């Protein structure tokens, strides 16, 4: 891990040192830049917040709240992290007509993209697991998860990383930090300006198969302040078997990995949790349905990269995204 480093003194008319901290969390990297008048290194506190967060929402920790709920352990009580994430997932599930669905966990596991070993997949298995999919089959009552069936499991990985960004941003807000950028695994939240007094410049990755680290090869650059950005795509997590590519995005309606021309979806929203969830939903929908949804929901902005009917590489973005687009590379 890289400890806090002072980047500069005063800039943009505000007194205070610029610091950058980096490290590893949730199977990926994080990078945070902020301006603090007292040059305070918050790394230890932020990492403690992330550990507490994982104890609520990480399916890779057997003792976490979500893992114990998935195991069917009785009387597990949801904390604020779990409740906020669940309610937002429910909201996006309803808004997208079920395209975003955290109950798809059993099928994600079966395909080898979840928190258990891959199964031998066939249509019989998928049909048997689809009965456990649907957020209409779960509810929170008195902070306890009520399942229609014990076979139902939750996987919040498609929303939790964005929420983790929001949690760290909320900490900076509580400390009256006016200028910051928080990034975890390519999901970003910003406030104020950078050390040059300008809006933050954030890159959109090219959807290149096998590209693991964000920021290596850019498709476009946008400038944002007071907004969040999240990207979902099938170019990082996939595998090939018998000459067929299987992406990690599972269609909750069919139970199979999506097969369409949308390569990546980048969403800009007020908070990173919703940006993360909607980016995933658009990858389920595919280009045409995602574009139609965005044309009807102008509170969201997005940049979609897809293959057209001729197999050619294309990009489409909302008018709002066009206003903050700095350059396309």
Cα–Cα distance for residue pair 247/264, rounded to 1 Å: 12
Q: Identify the DSSP state of 102.
A: G
Beta pairing partners, 266 = 231, 303
Cα–Cα distance for residue pair 241/214, rounded to 1 Å: 26
Cα–Cα distance for residue pair 3/41, rounded to 1 Å: 8
Model confidence at 219, pLDDT cuts 50, 70, 90, reads: confident
pTM above 0.85, yes or no: yes
Helix (H) or strand (E) holding 87, with range, is helix 80-95
Q: Lowest-pLDDT range, 74-83, 226-235, 263-272, 291-300?
A: 226-235
Domain boundaries, the chain: 53-155
Cα–Cα distance for residue pair 21/180, rounded to 1 Å: 11
Label residue 250 left, alpha or beta by phi (over 0 means left) and psi (-120 to 50 means alpha).
beta
Give the pLDDT score at 4.
Answer: 33
CATH class label, 53-155: mainly alpha
The model's pLDDT over 157-176, given as tens digits with 9 standing for 90+, comes to 999 999 999 999 999 999 99
Q: Which residue has the higher pLDDT, 108 or 98?
A: 98
The model's pLDDT over 104-129, given as tens digits with 9 standing for 90+, comes to 999 988 877 766 666 677 899 999 99
Q: Identify the DSSP state of 129.
A: H
Model confidence at 247, pLDDT cuts 50, 70, 90, reads: low
Cα–Cα distance for residue pair 168/271, rounded to 1 Å: 12
Give the pLDDT score at 243.
Answer: 52
Q: What is the DSSP code string of 270-314? A: SSHHHHHHHHHHHHHH-HHHHHHHHHH-TT-EEEEEEE-TTS-EE
């Amino acid at each position: 891990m890289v400890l806090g480093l002072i980047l500069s003194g005063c800039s943009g008319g505000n007194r205070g040192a610029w610091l950058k901290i980096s490290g590893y969390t949730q199977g990926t990297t994080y990078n945070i830049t902020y301006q603090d008048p007292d040059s305070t290194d918050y790394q230890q506190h932020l990492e403690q917040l992330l550990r507490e967060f994982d104890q609520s929402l990480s399916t890779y920790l057997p003792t976490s709240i979500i893992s114990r709920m998935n195991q069917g352990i009785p009387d597990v009580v949801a904390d604020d992290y779990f409740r906020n994430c669940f309610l937002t997932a429910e909201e996006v599930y309803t808004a997208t007509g079920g395209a975003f669905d955290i109950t798809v966990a059993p099928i994600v596991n079966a395909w080898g993209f979840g928190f258990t070993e891959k199964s031998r997949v066939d249509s019989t298995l998928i049909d048997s697991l689809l009965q456990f999919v649907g957020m209409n089959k779960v509810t929170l009552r008195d902070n306890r998860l009520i399942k229609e069936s014990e076979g139902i499991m939750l996987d919040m990985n498609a929303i939790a990383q964005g929420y983790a960004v929001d949690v760290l941003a909320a900490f900076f807000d509580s400390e009256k930090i006016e200028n910051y950028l928080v990034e975890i695994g390519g999901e970003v939240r910003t406030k104020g300006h950078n050390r040059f007094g300008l809006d933050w410049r954030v890159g959109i990755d090219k959807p290149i198969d096998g590209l693991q680290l964000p920021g290596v090869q850019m498709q476009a650059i946008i400038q944002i302040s007071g907004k969040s950005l999240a990207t979902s795509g099938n170019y990082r997590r996939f595998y090939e078997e018998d000459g067929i590519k299987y992406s990690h995005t599972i269609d909750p309606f069919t139970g199979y990995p999506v097969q369409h021309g949308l390569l990546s979806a980048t969403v800009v929203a007020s908070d990173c949790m919703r940006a993360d969830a909607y980016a995933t939903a658009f990858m389920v929908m595919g280009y045409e349905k995602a574009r139609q949804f965005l044309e009807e929901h102008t509170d969201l902005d997005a940049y979609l990269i897809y293959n057209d009917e001729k197999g050619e590489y294309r990009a489409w973005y909302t008018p709002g995204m066009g206003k903050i687009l700095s350059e396309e590379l």
